[in-house]
Structure formats: structure tokens, C-alpha cells
Amino acid sequence: MSAIGSGRRIPPWLAIFGVIFVCSWAGNQFSPLLLMYEQRAHYSSLWVNLFLGVYVLGLAPALLIAGSLSDRHGRKPLMLVGVGCALLGSAFLAFGQFGPGFLIVGRLFSGGSVGVAMAVGNSWMKELSQAPYDRAADESSGARRGSLAFTLGSAIGALVAGLIAQWGPIPEVLPFLIHILVTVPFAIVVLRAPETQRSGGVAGPWWRQLRVPSAGHRRFIRVVVVAAPWIFTSAAIGYGYLPTQLRGATGQWGLVFATVATVVALGTSSAIQPIAKRVHSVTSARGLATAVFIMALGIAVTTVAIAAQSVWIGLLANLVIGVGMGIGLVSALLEVQRIAGPRDLAGLTGVFYAVAYIGFLAPALIAAVVGVVPLATVLWVVVGLAVVSYALVGVSSRKHLPGGLPGEGV
């Protein structure tokens, strides 16, 4: 029996942690490079933010399709596709200096990789974080481990790419080559990991297998869907859009600031996740409501940082956003795991992330609007919408609970 399968040397959940890690690395290594493409390749702000947002077009279909298919045909084959997308994404991005087409295709594949990792990887992690694979894990271990793998992978990807862009050789190529070398072994890891979902497809056309019955649950629609977009709206504004607006304050250190801002947000998100378990409640949406409020505050601080052209306020904004992201990811995944039926956990996880990742389009939308409306006005409107979402989550926080829930959590 393999080391992964036996659990004597490498717990099965830890192997999937690594797979989610490298796929998340693929998705976020591009974020700190936005300034590089703007300054060295002379792309406009709109083009650069389109590069950031276009990856949602690869991510959303992967989230919606891969999760449902893995619920019926197994986690392993879909996760292999995710690792393949991560490799192709970095390969195309490494040729990005030859034209925007390579960047767009690379971002699409990177989005597909993250989509599979989030929908399939998180569900696989949940199943491997319980008996018989891990008898010591508690009910929230799967959600915490999955979200931690995502945030750590995103942070390391941004850190490596940002440092090379500032000080390393061939910054348009080297970050992506490093990611390819790190990722290749994880194709073998996926093949050796234990399958937790046996094949059992729905009869008829393949698209019937994409139906996710629990996506119509009222609590999912009125609580999770309302809160989800703010997780990545706040992230995209904090460490994607903000660095492009502080060019005057950062000067030649713009890439360093973009890298540090990303690491601060994602590092804080990782560090806060053990505390998120305590904020979450099984009979209310306390965790998600708290997260949305904190993320609204983070966007407000970002607005102040841009107005003051302050690097330090910008870092504070990403610290606040990171707290909100960490609580929001763990709480949302715990809500999803309670709402999902026995045959659509990955499907509902995919739907959640598809809604959440809509937020990555925020910088492109802001860049398109600021020519007509002042930037400060646009950002304060975004803050206002976040506050409205917080109120809506609060109103629905104790309604439409899934049946059979235990008492109030701590």
C-alpha cells in the first residue's frame, strides 16, 4: 500500500492539501505582476485589470462542471484535469511577452485549475478529514484545511512571482517555470490518493449530471450567495487594484508593495482561520455576517489609502481584508457542507466559489467606470453595497436552517 494511501507516513488529506496548494499558486501568481505588465509592457490600466478578471471566465465553468461531475464519477479524474490546467496556464503565461493572447489563454487555464481545486479539492479534503481516513479530525477540519491550502498557495505564488519581478532574472518567464517544476509531481500525488467518491452517473445526457439540487436551498440563496462575492471583491480591490492606484507613493518599489499587500492579505487570512471556527455558529450566520462587515471596513480603508496616497494605510487595508476573507471562507464552506446533500457536496462547493469569484471582476468594472464617475465615489458605493449585504445576511441569519442541526456552536 502506498504511503499516501496507508496514512502511516503521509495522511491522505495532506496530499490533497498539496494539490490545492499548487493549483491556488497557479491562480494568484499573476496578481503582483499587474504593475510589471503595465509599466514594462505598456498595457493600459483597463487591459491589465482585464487580465486579472478574465480568469473568472475559466474558473466559473470549471467550478460549475467539475464539482458536479466529480460527485458522480469520482474526485481523482477531475483533480488530474485541474493539475493539467495549472501546468498549461503557467506554460502559456511564460510566453506572455509575445502578446496578450498568451496572457489571456494562460489566465483562462489558471482559472480552470483553481475552479477544479476549489470544487473538487475542497470536497475531497472534507471526505479525507473524517473517518476512516482521519479519525482525529473534528467537523470543521475539512473546511479549515481546504481554505488554508487555498490561501497559503495563493500567498506563496504571489510572493515568488513578486520577488522575481522586482529583483530576479527574466521576470516574465521564471515565476511560471518555477511553478511548473513544483506542480508536476502532484500529478503522481493525485493518482496515489484514495478515491472517496465512487462512479455513479445520472442516466441520460451528461448535462443532467450538472444539476445541484441543494443550490436551491433558501439558506444558500439568502445567506451564502449574498455574502460570497465580497470575499474576492475585497481581495481584488485590496491587493489587485490598490497597488495600481498607489504608483505615485510607491515609485520604483511598486512591485514590492503589490507583493507585500498580497502576502499580508492572504497571510492574515490563513492565520485567522483557526479563530473563524469560534466565530462561526451552526444556528446562525454569525461568521458570514462578521466577515462581510469586516470586508466592507477593509474596502473603506482602501478608499482612504488611495485618497491619502499612503502605503501604510494600504497595508492596513489588506490586513483588515485578510481577516474578513479568512472568516468568510471558513464560515461559507461550513455552511455549504451543512446544506449540501450526500451526492452534491462538490457541486454546491463549486456553485459557492463561482458566485464568490465574481468579485474578481470588480477591478475591471471599476476601471471601466472611473472615466465617468470619480474613483472615490465608486469605491464608497461599493462600501455601501457591502453594508447592505451585511444587513441582508443578518436578517436571514437564523432562518432556513438545514434540518437536524445541533445546538448553538461556539
Condensed to tens digits (0 to 9), the pLDDT of residues 112-154 reads: 999 999 889 988 998 898 888 888 877 778 888 888 898 899 8
Domain regions of the chain by residue span? 8-191+215-396
Q: Does 392 or 140 have the greater pLDDT score?
A: 392
Nearest to 196 by CA among 113, 116, 134: 134
Instruction: Please give the pLDDT value at position 408.
Output: 33
Condensed to tens digits (0 to 9), the pLDDT of residues 73-83 reads: 888 999 999 99
Condensed to tens digits (0 to 9), the pLDDT of residues 200-225 reads: 555 555 566 667 788 888 888 889 99
At residue 156, what are phi and psi to the nearest 5 degrees?
-65, -40
| All three cell numbers of 230 | 465580497
Q: Is the pLDDT of residue 406 over 50?
A: no
CA-based angle 245:247:252, to the nearest 5?
A: 155
Please check whether residue 231 is in contact with residue 336, taking contact to mean a CB–CB distance below 8 angstroms: no
| Assigned CATH class of 8-191+215-396 | mainly alpha
The average pLDDT across 336-357 equals 81
Return the sign of the alpha-carbon dihedral for residues 389, 319, 90, 38: positive
Instruction: Please give the pLDDT value at position 233.
Output: 94
Q: How far is CA 82 from the centre of its chain?
A: 14
Q: How confident is the model at residue 362 (pLDDT cuts 50, 70, 90)?
A: confident
Instruction: Please give the pLDDT value at position 407.
Output: 33
| All three cell numbers of 270 | 490563513
Instruction: Please give the pLDDT value at position 23.
Output: 95
Instruction: Please give the pLDDT value at position 258.
Output: 86
Q: How confident is the model at residue 410 (pLDDT cuts 50, 70, 90)?
A: very low
Instruction: Please give the pLDDT value at position 6.
Output: 42
Question: d(Cα 185, Cα 171) in Å, to the nearest integer?
Answer: 24
Residues 6+ apart with CB under 8 A from 222: 392, 396, 399, 400
3-state secondary structure 271-286: HHHHHHHHHCCCCCCH
The average pLDDT across 76-104 equals 92
Instruction: Please give the pLDDT value at position 18.
Output: 94
Q: Is the pLDDT of residue 298 over 50?
A: yes
Residues 6+ apart with CB under 8 A from 177: 90, 94
